[in-house]
Structure formats: C-alpha cells, structure tokens
Amino acid sequence: MSRVTLHTLETAPEAAKPFLQTAQKNSGFIPNLLGILANAPAALETYVTVSGINGKAELTLQEREVVQLIAATRHGCDFCVAGHTAVAQNKAKLPDDVVTALRGQTELPIERLEALAAFTREVIAKRGDVSDDTYTAFKAAGFTEGQALEVILGVSLATLCNFANVFARTPLNPELARYSWTRPA
C-alpha cells in the first residue's frame, strides 16, 4: 500500500491531469509512479520533461536502460527495476543475460556495457567523483565526455523516480507484475 495518495485521472490535481492523460494514451495505463508524482505536479512535470530530454541523449536506448537499471537496483527501487526491465527487454532489446546481470547487480557480459555500468555505479557511489581509472575505461570503451555527462543526467532522472517510489512505497502496476524485483536482503 502506498504511503501517499495514488492519483487517477479523476482524483489528480488539474495541473497533473494532462501528464496522466498522455501516459494513459501512450501506454494504455497510468504507471503508478505518475499517480504518485501527481501529488506534486511540478515533480511530475520535471519527471516527464527530464525523461524527454534524456531520450534525446547520444547514449542509445540500450545504454540509457543500463544506466536506469543500475540506478534502480542501487537505490532499491522495486518499481523502477520492474518498469525498466520491461523497457530493456521489449523496446531496447537488451540480451537476456545482460538484463539478468543488471537485475542481479553482477558484472555485465558485454565489455562496452560493463564499462558503462561501472562508470554509472561509481557516479552513484561517489556522487560523481569517478576515479581516473574508471573514467579512462569508460572512454576506452568508446564513450565520450558528453556521454559521461549524459550518464549523470540519467542518474539524476533515476534519483527523482527511485527516491519518490521508495518514499511512497509505490505499488507495482499489474501490467508490470511479470517484471517484479525485490531488493536483496
């Protein structure tokens, strides 16, 4: 059960309704994250806006999903792990062994993606103070300076939704149930 109101189109503040309507139209359902963020329309608008900006990054959809799943597992966000697992498998077409490694918080089997994952882990753990060795490995894998900053953009987006979900105890939508994840003890 959520600890804050989980809004629907009918109960949401007027400023939040257009965002929920768009989500309903695009997905066929309103992800509970958005129903939670509707309590603060500015937070909902920020999430939607930054998601759109993140979607314009040079990082590919697969790479952006690596960042999102690293952040969600590190932040212990069951909801976001499920949601991003769905995107990783169905839209980004990440290989199953990569998704399994991301969800299990283990090393990725693809060297380039592991360099991205290691960089992302360190951005989170050290609040951006990534070691020279990790940054060098990231660049050696073919990533650019700009993409390093895009990782930070992705982590900032993830932090908003991960922390909101963990705080609110957002329940998983039935549409995402098959992707459920529970943080390890």
Among the listed residues 32, 74, 25, 67, the one whose alpha carbon sits nearest the alpha carbon of residue 50? 67
- Structure tokens that stand for 5 in this block: 């109101």
In angstroms and rounded to an integer, the radius of gyration of the C-alpha atoms of the chain is 16
Whole-angstrom Cα distance, residue 45 to residue 56? 17
> Would you state the pLDDT for residue 184?
79
> Would you state the pLDDT for residue 183?
84
Residue 154 · residue 100 · CB < 8 Å? no
* Segments making up each domain of the chain, as ranges: 1-56, 60-168
Which CATH architecture does the domain made up of 1-56 adopt?
Up-down Bundle (1.20)
> Would you state the pLDDT for residue 3?
96
Exposed/middle/buried for 72, CB within 10 Å: 0-12, 13-18, 19+? buried
How many other CB atoms are there within 10 angstroms of residue 144's CB atom? 12
Q: Say yes or no: domain 60-168 is CATH 1.20.1290.10.
A: yes
Share of the chain above pLDDT 70, in %: 100
The ranges of the chain with pLDDT < 70 are none
pLDDT digits (tens, 9 = 90+) for 72-122: 999 999 999 999 999 999 999 999 999 999 999 999 999 999 999 999 999
> Would you state the pLDDT for residue 66?
98
